[in-house]
Amino acid sequence: MRHTWYKDAVVYQIYPRSFQDSNGDGIGDLQGIINRLPYLAQLGITIIWLSPIYQSPNDDGGYDISDYCAIQKEFGTMAIYDEFLNRTHQLGMKVIMDLVVNHTSDEHPWFIASKQEQPNQYHNYYFWRKTQSAHQTPNNWSSFFGGSAWKYDADKKQHFLHLFSPKQPDLNWGYPPVREEIKKMMRFWLDKGIDGFRCDVITIISKKPGLPNGRFRLVLKGFEHYANGPHVHDYLQELHRDVLSHYDVMTVGEATFIDAKTALTYVAEDRKELDMVIHFDHMNVDSISNKWLIVPWHVKKLKKILAHWQYEMIRGGGWNCLYFENHDQPRSLSRFGNTETYRVQSGKLLATYLLTQQGTPFIYQGQEIGMENYPFQSFDDFIDVEARRIYTLGKRVLHLSDEFLFKTLSYMSRDNARTPMQWDSSVNAGFTTGHPWMKVHPNYPDVNVEKEINNPDSIWNFYRQLIALRKDQPTLIYGSFQLFLKNHPHLVVYQRLLEEDIILVLMNFSTRIIDIRLPRSVTQTRWQLLVSNYAQPSELPRRMQPYEVLILKKKSNA
Ligand code: TEU
Ligand code: CA
């Protein structure tokens, strides 16, 4: 297997609006990030993924871009960005930028121009369609954020397609000038010296010509006509050939509802498309068919999904992107851990799962200190565009009960991930001296970076320890993967193997003491303890404590 820097890396995702404010306006900014770079270096991070910092009306947290080559005013200037990039590189870290090119903002000059009377040069940049009337949509496709994917423009008297919010019109990738614009923009950033892209919803950029009606589904009608659409591989190969291959960079593509086999058609090395994909299979473990239909999750299912991706990528010459959190997901500690009795142990367990599989781990800001879901008080606390739209749809169209809606949104809303980073126990958690754009989680006096760093037994120090461990145990990075006790309802046990070296990972995902019976190949091996989250002798356990973790290494014969 080819060894390369992005495989050795640990990525840290920054959601700039919520990371660190430097000027008291209540909004995180680039100068704030610069001030915190030493913190990231101290943690052992080697790549920073910046969620969008481009000029944007901020309808969807910056994922609605009105100028790809300008910095959002409240985040700073291009000069400060350049300084950020330089300083990050000086500290030995790399930077990947969010590439949001399935859609632009409706305030992007291309879209504004495309609304003009025809013929106009920009008409084909988007999907404009005429129908009989304003009420009749061109097809039945639905938006990811609820409702129809079409909006009528009263001046132009046509509908345009928006798979996300109505302020995010989809770009028409089938029109060659669009692709040229995008390539030009990518070169602009690459020539500055950035190290790659996280490509937003990149698997849905190619829509089936004719935009046919979708078959009936409860949610997301039309999906089959643009997910892994007819020309997506052509487009990605074109970007690779014309742009990416000229730089030493990495790409990770966000891929909604992709299975591992299909993922390989994007990431297998000979494809020359992407380096990794962000899949959603394990994020769907607690819902059915749609993220808002929440069901209890089971360890057995979670490990089955993750192991499947391990086996498939290893077999097919791909590479995994590992994550439990990002700016779209609830906090993993609240979701998969135990925030009541085993906060620290379960936080460390999740760190272990993230950092000991094959693939590049992505840590989302605050995950390393065990930030938790927000204790929402009322519907007004939900401010994300998706939550607002789902609320309206649930209430007005589906007539769902307040109780159900509140419970569902509290658990799954993206707002959970976007509360300000908790730096210390001073006012507003040290995020801002002003009025924070979003409420700070009330647990910040207990859960904050300062406390975590100073406590040697903290979740933070465990992340740091594991990140360091990956650096001196190549087996944790490049080793193959084998799952044991596949049907056990609480234990997750696997080994990583590289030549003669074996590392064994054991985790108890429950609040109970669990007896463990390991296969003979494991019991007959002599192990030494590398890491544990309990004070614990270095031998193979017969039982595991609640949320206990053990990382063991095969003793060498010498
Ligand atoms: O997300 C796309 C996506 O499929 C979902 O995770 C989305 O956030 C939503 O939860 C679907 O129900 C990407 C970005 O990560 C997200 O922040 C943007 O809102 C979206 O694309 C549009 O750019
Ligand atoms: Ca600010």
pLDDT tens by residue, 12-24: 999 999 999 999 9
Q: Helices (DSSP H) in 130-205: which residue ranges?
A: 176-192
Do residues 479 and 498 touch, judged by C-beta distance below 8 A? yes
Can you tell me which residue has the tokens 């909004």? 27
The pLDDT confidence band at residue 118, using thresholds 50, 70 and 90, is: confident
Cβ neighbours around 304 below 10 Å, total: 16
Closest CA to 258 of 200, 322, 203, 313: 203
**DSSP line for 452-466:** HHH-TTSHHHHHHHH
* 457 residue type, one letter: D
Q: Is 124 exposed, middle or buried (0-12, 13-18, 19+ CB in 10 A)?
A: middle
Task: Record the tokens describing residue 309, joined without a space.
Answer: 């991706």
| Catalytic residue list | 200, 254
Of the bound ligands, which one is closest to the alpha carbon of residue 72? 2
**Which of 144, 163, 197, 282 should be mutated for ligand 1, with most atoms under 8 A from CB?**
144
Give the total residue count for the chain: 558
Given a cut of 70, whether residue 37 has pLDDT beyond it is yes
Residues 6+ apart with CB under 8 A from 156: 115, 117, 128
How far apart are the CA of 26 and the centre of ligand 2, in A?
Answer: 6
- Helix locations, 172-285, DSSP H: 176-192, 232-242, 260-267
Interval between CA 358 and ligand 1 midpoint (Å):
25
Dihedral sign, CA of 219, 285, 9, 246? negative
Number of Cβ within 10 Å of residue 44's Cβ equals 18
pLDDT value at position 323? 98
Rounded average pLDDT over 534-542? 81
pLDDT of residue 257: 83
Task: Please tell me the number of the ligand nearest to residue 29's CA.
Answer: 2
**What are the distances in angstroms from CA 200 to CA 253, 350, 409, 419?**
6, 25, 23, 21
Task: State pLDDT tens for residues 174-199.
Answer: 999 999 999 999 999 999 999 999 99
Residue 296: exposed, middle, or buried by beta-carbon count in 10 A (0-12, 13-18, 19+)?
exposed
pLDDT tens, position by position, 389-436? 999 999 999 999 999 999 999 999 999 999 999 999 999 999 999 999
**Among all chains, which residue has been given the structure tokens 């090395």?**
269
How does residue 217 score in pLDDT terms, banded at 50, 70 and 90?
Answer: confident
Helix, strand, coil shares, percent, the chain, to 5: 35, 20, 45
Is residue 223's pLDDT more than 60?
yes
Pick the atom of ligand 1 nearest to 326's CA: 15
**Residues 6 or more apart from 288 whose CB is under 8 A from it?**
295
The residue whose CA is least distant from atom 23 of ligand 1 is 63
Least confident of 154-163, 204-213, 215-224: 215-224
Average pLDDT over residues 475-481: 98
Predicted local confidence at residue 537, as pLDDT: 72
**With 80 as the cut, is the pLDDT of residue 253 above it?**
yes
Q: Is 219 a residue whose pLDDT tops 90?
A: no
Report the nearest atom of ligand 1 relative to the CA of 414: 10
Q: How confident is the model at residue 322 (pLDDT cuts 50, 70, 90)?
A: very high
**Average model confidence (pLDDT) across the chain:** 97
Rounded distance from Cα 24 to ligand 2 centre (Å): 6
Please state, for a pLDDT cut of 70, what percent of the chain lies above it: 100
Tell me, in angstroms, the distance from the centre of ligand 1 to residue 328's CA.
Answer: 6
Is the per-residue pLDDT at 536 higher than 80? no
Ligand 1 centroid to Cα of residue 95, in Å, is 21
As a whole number of angstroms, the distance between CA 255 and CA 206 comes to: 13
Kindly give, in sequence order, each residue whose CB lies less than 8 Å from that of residue 165, ignoring residues fewer than 6 positions away. Answer: 59, 60, 64, 143, 145, 385, 389
Substitution candidate for ligand 1 out of 102, 103, 108, 164 with most atoms within 8 A of CB: 164
**Percent of the chain whose pLDDT exceeds 90:** 96
Q: What is the pLDDT of residue 558?
A: 54
| pLDDT at position 539 | 74
* Nearest CA, atom 12, ligand 1: 144
Closest ligand 1 atom to 145 CA: 12
What is the structure's pLDDT at 535?
87
Tokens of 438: 């979003």
Ligand nearest to the CA of 253: 1
Ligand 1 atom 6 nearest Cα: 328
Return the residue whose CA atom lies nearest to atom 11 of ligand 1.
144
pLDDT value, residue 124: 98
Cβ < 6 A, ligand 1 pocket: 60-61, 63, 100, 144, 164, 200-201, 254, 256, 291, 327-328, 386
Atom of ligand 1 nearest to the CA of 103: 23
The per-residue pLDDT for range 53-112, each reduced to its tens digit, is: 999 999 999 999 999 999 999 999 999 999 999 999 999 999 999 999 999 999 999 999
The 10s digit of each residue's pLDDT in 40-62 is: 999 999 999 999 999 999 999 99
pLDDT band at 233 (very low <50, low <70, confident <90, very high): very high
For residue 3, what pLDDT is reported? 94
Looking at residue 395, the DSSP 8-state letter turns out to be I
Q: What's the 35 CA to ligand 2 centre distance in angstroms?
A: 12
Q: Which residue minimizes the CA distance to atom 4 of ligand 1?
A: 256
Residue nearest to atom 18 of ligand 1 (CA): 63
Q: At 524, list the tokens.
A: 């007959």
Question: Among the atoms of ligand 1, which is closest to the Cα of residue 64?
Answer: 23
Instruction: Select the more confidently predicted residue: 537 or 484.
Output: 484
Q: Which atom of ligand 1 is nearest to the CA of 60?
A: 19
| pLDDT given for residue 538 in this prediction | 61
Structure tokens at 103: 């859609």
| Rounded Cα gap, residues 356 and 479, in angstroms | 10
Place 342 in a pLDDT band, splitting at 50, 70 and 90.
very high
* 1: confidence class by pLDDT, cuts 50, 70, 90: confident
Closest ligand by atom to 101 CA: 1
Q: Which of 496, 395, 354 is nearest to 147 (CA)?
A: 395
User: Which among 190, 191, 203 has a CA at the least distance from the CA of 276?
Assistant: 203
Check: CB of residue 84 under 8 Å from CB of residue 189.
no
> 230: CA distance to ligand 2 center in Å?
43
Read off the tokens for 163: 């798979």
User: What is the model's pLDDT at position 32?
Assistant: 98
AA identity, residue 78: M
